C-alpha cells in the first residue's frame, strides 16, 4: 500500500481533500493499523487544541477601556478648543493688518472722492491701528504673535503626529 | 439585551454616530479571545492585558478609517497581532523568537517528552506546550481553534500565504501528536 503522509491526514481532518483523495485516506485508515493509529493520535491532538478554553483579562477591563476613552475624548476636545481660540486670535490680527493696509491704500489714492462719513471712520480705525502697530507696541505685539504661532505650530505638529501614528496600525 | 445581539457593523455605525458607550459591547465581545491570543503570544498576563488595552484604544481611534471592506474581527485581530509583534520586538525576546522559528519545533518535542514533565497533568502539559510555541504558531492555533477562523482569514491577518498558515497549523498539530505518542498518552487520551 502507498505510504500515507501526515499532510494528507491533516487535510483529511480539515476536510480539504477531494472525493478521490478522501476515499484513499479512508481506505488506508480502515486497512492499516499503523495509519489508523497515526490518524487517531492526530485527531486527538486536534481535539485537544479545540478543547482549550479561552482566558479572560481582569474583571473591570471593559470599564478601564471605557474610562480611558472618555478621558481621551475630553482631552481631545480641550485641545480642539485651544487650537480654535489661537486661530481666532490670529484671524483677528490678520483682519486688523488687512484693514490697516486697506485704509492706507484708500486714503493715499482717492482722498477727495471718499465721503466724509467713510473718511471719518476710516481715519479713526486707521489711527487706532497705527497706534497699535506703533513703534512702542510693535515689538510686544510681534513677540506675542510669534509666541502664539510657535505654540499653535507645536500643537498642530503634535496632532498630526498622533493621527499619523494611529493610522499606521 | 437587544444591544448585545447587534452585529459588529451596526455597533460600529452607532459608535461613529457618537454613541461612544456602545463600544463597550465590542470590547466585551472580543476581549477574552484576543486576550487568550495575546497571552499565548506574549507568555504573560500583564503584558497581554496592557497590549490588549492599547489595541482597543487604537481600534477606537481608527474606527473612522474602517470602511467595512473586511470583517471587523479580521481588522481588529490584525491590530492585535501587530501590536503583539511590536511588544515582542524588545531585544531579549527577539532573540528567543528568532531561535524558535516556524521550521524548528523539534526542541519542543524533546523538551516535553523529557522525564521532567512525566508527572504533569495532561491538560497542564498541553497548556505549557502551547505557551512554548513560537508567537506565530500560537496565534494561528488560537485563531483557528478558538475563533474558528478559516485559513484564508488567518492569512489575511498575518499577511502570509494560506499555504503557510496550513503548514504552521499542521506542524503544531504534528508536534502535539509526537508528544502524545512519546509520552504514551495515547491510551489515556483515546
Please tell me which of A39-53, B39-53, B166-180 the model is most confident about, judged by mean pLDDT.
Answer: B39-53
Distances in whole angstroms, Cα of residue B115 to Cα of each of B76, B122, B159, B183:
41, 14, 39, 9
ipTM associated with this complex:
0.77
Rounded-to-integer distance, Cα B105 and Cα A104, Å: 83
Residues of chain B above pLDDT 90, percent: 52
Task: Report CB contact under 8 Å: A57, B56.
Answer: no
| CA–CA min distance B78, chain A (Å) | 9
Q: Model pTM greater than 0.80?
A: no
How close does chain A come to B186, measured CA to CA in Å? 7
Residue A124 confidence (pLDDT): 74
B16 at A interface, C-beta within 8 A = no
**In Å, how far is A167's CA from the nearest CA of chain B?**
6
Grid cell locating B132 = 512554548
Burial category of A152 from C-beta neighbours within 10 Å (exposed 0-12, middle 13-18, buried 19 and up): middle
pLDDT tens for chain A, 169 residues long, are 556 888 899 999 999 999 999 999 999 999 999 999 989 989 988 988 888 888 999 999 999 999 998 887 777 777 788 788 878 888 888 888 888 778 777 777 655 555 666 667 767 777 777 776 666 677 777 788 788 778 878 877 776 666 555 444 4
B49 touches chain A (CB under 8 A): yes
Amino acid at each position: 500500500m502507498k505510504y500515507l503522509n501526515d499532510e494528507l491526514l491533516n487535510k483529511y481532518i480539515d476536510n480539504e481533500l477531494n472525493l478521490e483523495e478522501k476515499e484513499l485516506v479512508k481506505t488506508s485508515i480502515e486497512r492499516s493499523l499503523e495509519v489508523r493509529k497515526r490518524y487517531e493520535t492526530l485527531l486527538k491532538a486536534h481535539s485537544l487544541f479545540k478543547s482549550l478554553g479561552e482566558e479572560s483579562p481582569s474583571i473591570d477591563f471593559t470599564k478601564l477601556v471605557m474610562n480611558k476613552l472618555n478621558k481621551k475624548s475630553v482631552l481631545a476636545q480641550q485641545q480642539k478648543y485651544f487650537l480654535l481660540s489661537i486661530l481666532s486670535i490670529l484671524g483677528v490680527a490678520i483682519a486688523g493688518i488687512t484693514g490697516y493696509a486697506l485704509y492706507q491704500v484708500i486714503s493715499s489714492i482717492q482722498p477727495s472722492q471718499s465721503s466724509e462719513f467713510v473718511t471719518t471712520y476710516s481715519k479713526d480705525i486707521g489711527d487706532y491701528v497705527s497706534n497699535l502697530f506703533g513703534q512702542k507696541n510693535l515689538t510686544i505685539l510681534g513677540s506675542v504673535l510669534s509666541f502664539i504661532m510657535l505654540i499653535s505650530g507645536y500643537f498642530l505638529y503634535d496632532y498630526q503626529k498622533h493621527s499619523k501614528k494611529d493610522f499606521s496600525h | 439585551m437587544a444591544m448585545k445581539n447587534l452585529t459588529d457593523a451596526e455597533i460600529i455605525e452607532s459608535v461613529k454616530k457618537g454613541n461612544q458607550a456602545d463600544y463597550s459591547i465590542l470590547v466585551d465581545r472580543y476581549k477574552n479571545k484576543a486576550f487568550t491570543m495575546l497571552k499565548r503570544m506574549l507568555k504573560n498576563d500583564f503584558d497581554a492585558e496592557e497590549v490588549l488595552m492599547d489595541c482597543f484604544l487604537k481600534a477606537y481611534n481608527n474606527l473612522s478609517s474602517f470602511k467595512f471592506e473586511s470583517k471587523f474581527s479580521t481588522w481588529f485581530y490584525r491590530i492585535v497581532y501587530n501590536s503583539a509583534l511590536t511588544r515582542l520586538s524588545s531585544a531579549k525576546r527577539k532573540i528567543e523568537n528568532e531561535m524558535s522559528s516556524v521550521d524548528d519545533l523539534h526542541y519542543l518535542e524533546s523538551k516535553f517528552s523529557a522525564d521532567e514533565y512525566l508527572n504533569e497533568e495532561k491538560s497542564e502539559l498541553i497548556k505549557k506546550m502551547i505557551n512554548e510555541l513560537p508567537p506565530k504558531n500560537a496565534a494561528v492555533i488560537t485563531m483557528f481553534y478558538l475563533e474558528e477562523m478559516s485559513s484564508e482569514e488567518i492569512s489575511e491577518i498575518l499577511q502570509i500565504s494560506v499555504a503557510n498558515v496550513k503548514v504552521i497549523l499542521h506542524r503544531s498539530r504534528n508536534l502535539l501528536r509526537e508528544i502524545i505518542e512519546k509520552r504514551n498518552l495515547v491510551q489515556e487520551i483515546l
